[in-house]
Structure 1
Amino acid sequence: MLTILDKYILKRYLATFSVMLLLFIPIGITVDVAEKINKILENKVPLAKVLSYYVDFVIYFTNFLFPIFLFLSIIWFTAKLANNTEIIAILSSGISFRRFLRPYIIGATMVSLFALLMGFFLAPKASEGFKNFRYLYLIGNGKNEMRETNDVYRQISDNEYIYVSNFNQEAKTGYNFVFEKFDGERLVYKISASSIQWNPTSKKYTLLNYNKRTIGDLDDKIEIETSKNMKFNFDLEDLTPVVYIAETLNWTDLNKFIDKEIKRGSANINVYLVVKYRKYSIPISAFILTIIAVAVSSMKRRGGMGINLAIGIAIAFSYIFLDKIFSTLAEKSSIAPIIAVWIPNVVFGILAFFLLRNAKR
């Protein structure tokens, strides 16, 4: 059961966090509008799309900058409690520091659940709208940059592989197409064509300059046609997904997508796994950053709240910096994504432990 002290601190916790969000959101929108207004006017973007973009913008950046907003809000109101000697009065009444932390942990639980639900369901949809708008209206050659269309090589099943040297999304056409089917390590047959085009009416692919070589024990069988219609067990979205596809999928779809990409031997699997693991690591960071913020700001300092805020800002941006570095390393190197994503939480978890021990003294 919550006591008067719990309700008092919890109310300050949630209210300050909410106010911090409401203060920074208009600032972020204003800065973004000032930066992008020329492009928006130049491309004559409809007002409805602009308004939809800024709704997605708010959700996207709230999810991305959630640790900073939370950390600074706790630093702010806890330092104010310390500056008004309220914390000294609370601890002098016989309440232990661990008991003093309880409403903070309850608040962190509520915020982390909110962050978890946002990361699973709200943020993916907002990310899709935000990214699509940027690529379609704000980036010079955005439509072509949305997809990896050069030297596309994919495993579409356990024993089938495809390759196109270049893919034109507007024409639904791939060039220098190759399809290979294996039985274990033995090549069964190979299909090649100068181009492959999707036909939405017949739900088939049209191959120009079709050539099929079936490997035999003593000799090979070769089939050549100028044009041939065929069905394959892949579609265009599978062939060239948008580069940010993982960010736009909800939890269920993301897991299905990752399983499918693992079977295909996708070269981008680490990128997708980083997105998946971050959905868990960010909510957990609410607890770690809450403990650090309380430990840092609960002491009354000679410099006042300014010193606490300066320390808090330095720690918050260090966390974001470390998180970004290891996420990039996971995407570009051989380091395991789950390790890279959780390293910032482990490092700052250890820091939280030592700061808390010091604060108790």
Structure 2
Amino acid sequence: MNTFDRHILRRLFSGFLFFVGTLIVFFIVLHYVEFIDDFMDRGATMREVFLVYYPSYIPEIVKLTSPLALFLSCVYLTGKLAQELQLIALQASGVSLYRLLRPYLVIGVAVTGFMFWFNGWVVPRTNATVLAFEQQYLKDGPGPADVNDIHRQHRPGQIVSVGFYDRTAQTAIRVSLQAFDEADRLVSRIDASRMEWVDSLQVWRLRHATLRRFEPDGRVFQRTINQLDTALTVYPRDFARTERDVESMTIPEARGYVDALRRSGANQIGRTLVGYYVKFAYPFANLILVLIALPLASVRRRGGQAAQLALGLLTAFAYLALQKLTEPFGYSGELPPAATAWLPHAVFLGVAIYLLLRARK
């Protein structure tokens, strides 16, 4: 890597930081203006809002805006080089567009790798604070409503399924505890009409429970117990989670949660699966938008850099809009969740390849 590459990298990175910082301020101001009444009505102090909530919200903003910020940085720098005829001078001296792409690829790969780690392990931790704050202080936040059709992993190979959970009473209805062996064969099952949390004992109390054990030869042993106390590793707060909580799970935690849902035979888990696969797919938007930015902005336009940035914003928002438009198809099962998460990136990777092939070398 020569001096020119390092110079381009330095300018791209400084532009990236500038646009990320600008977007953070923009998002926070808009969000605060929209929700200030909710903060005031529900008793949130300014200290809590600005020293707890928004600092915890910043990583989520960085996650969402990093592709746009990196794209704008690339478009701005490339457009500036094009408008000042530096690109033409470089190409005239034998530097091809593909050679110029090298520092862009370096920063694209570096930011993509960093954001994969950041999105998968850092953002979930801060999102847990954000979700708890929104539940308490924002009207549109996930409130303490009852939850239906819940599946949680007790231990590896052991699933707890609940038909209905009352968060306030800490009571579950239509409960099933299932245990699987290493071959995913159901070996035992406990069904109960009701399960209550006994805080003094820190146990769950099953009412009218039926215990079944399934032998490899097909025999089934069954007995009924009127009351059974069991110490699960799943607590009331775990049952109170909603589909949004996959956002507050690290990638390993989300993988375990998804595996538990699949083992339990849960239905309507499309939203959770899409959220899980998006954790892997979304960081690649950084690299793909870098590949689009260079050929898109390397052509001089009549409107100058303003036209370059406007076209860049239009392209980036089309990319992000396609991601949001495809998600409902994954939620409903019309598209496989993995395809839903990766389809927009595949489409715009095709756009990037097309632009690179068509660009003036």
Shorter-chain TM-score bucket reads 0.7 to 0.9
Q: Which residue of 1 aligns with 2:38?
A: 39
More deviation in 323-332 or 12-21?
323-332
Return the alpha-carbon distance in structure 2 between the equivalents of residues 76 and 279 of structure 1: 28
What amino acid sits opposite 1:20 in the alignment? Answer: F
Q: Which residue of 2 aligns with 1:277?
A: 277
Note the alpha carbon deviations across 1:261-302, whole angstroms, 9 max, x for none: 221223354333323322332222222111111111111112
Return the alpha-carbon distance in structure 2 between the equivalents of residues 116 and 158 of structure 1: 28
What amino acid sits opposite 1:28 in the alignment? Answer: F
TM-score w.r.t. the length of structure 1 is: 0.84
Return the alpha-carbon distance in structure 2 between the equivalents of residues 264 and 300 of structure 1: 58
Note the alpha carbon deviations across 1:95-127, whole angstroms, 9 max, x for none: 111111111111112211221121122111122
Return the alpha-carbon distance in structure 1 between the equivalents of residues 211 and 21 of structure 2: 64
What amino acid sits opposite 2:21 in the alignment? Answer: L
Return the alpha-carbon distance in structure 1 between the equivalents of residues 250 and 295 of structure 2: 35
User: CA distance change for structure 1 residues 3 and 173 in 2, over 3 Å: closer, same or farther?
Assistant: same
SS at the partner of 2:359? Answer: helix
Larger gyration radius, structure 1 or structure 2: 1
Contact 1:204 1:229 in 2 (8 A): no
More deviation in 278-287 or 123-132?
278-287
Contact 2:327 2:340 in 1 (8 A): yes
Q: Which residue of 2 aligns with 1:28?
A: 27
Return the alpha-carbon distance in structure 1 between the equivalents of residues 286 and 141 of structure 2: 38
Contact 1:155 1:265 in 2 (8 A): no
What amino acid sits opposite 1:21 in the alignment? Answer: V
Q: Which residue of 1 aligns with 2:91?
A: 91
Q: Which residue of 2 aligns with 1:168?
A: 166
SS at the partner of 2:197? Answer: strand
TM-score w.r.t. the length of structure 2 is: 0.84
More deviation in 349-358 or 272-281?
272-281
SS at the partner of 1:360? Answer: coil
Return the alpha-carbon distance in structure 1 between the equivalents of residues 185 and 68 of structure 2: 51
Structure 1: stretches of 5+ with no match in the other structure: none
Note the alpha carbon deviations across 1:129-178, whole angstroms, 9 max, x for none: 22221122102684324xx61355789797987444x4221321124657
CA drift at 1:233: 5.0
What amino acid sits opposite 1:291 in the alignment? Answer: L
Contact 2:330 2:336 in 1 (8 A): yes
User: CA distance change for structure 1 residues 188 and 340 in 2, over 3 Å: closer, same or farther?
Assistant: closer
Contact 1:155 1:266 in 2 (8 A): no
User: CA distance change for structure 1 residues 330 and 320 in 2, over 3 Å: closer, same or farther?
Assistant: same
CA drift at 1:234: 6.4
SS at the partner of 2:243? Answer: coil
Q: Which residue of 2 aligns with 1:139?
A: 139
CA drift at 1:47: 3.9
CA drift at 1:260: 2.1
Return the alpha-carbon distance in structure 2 between the equivalents of residues 168 and 130 of structure 1: 23
User: CA distance change for structure 1 residues 292 and 235 in 2, over 3 Å: closer, same or farther?
Assistant: same
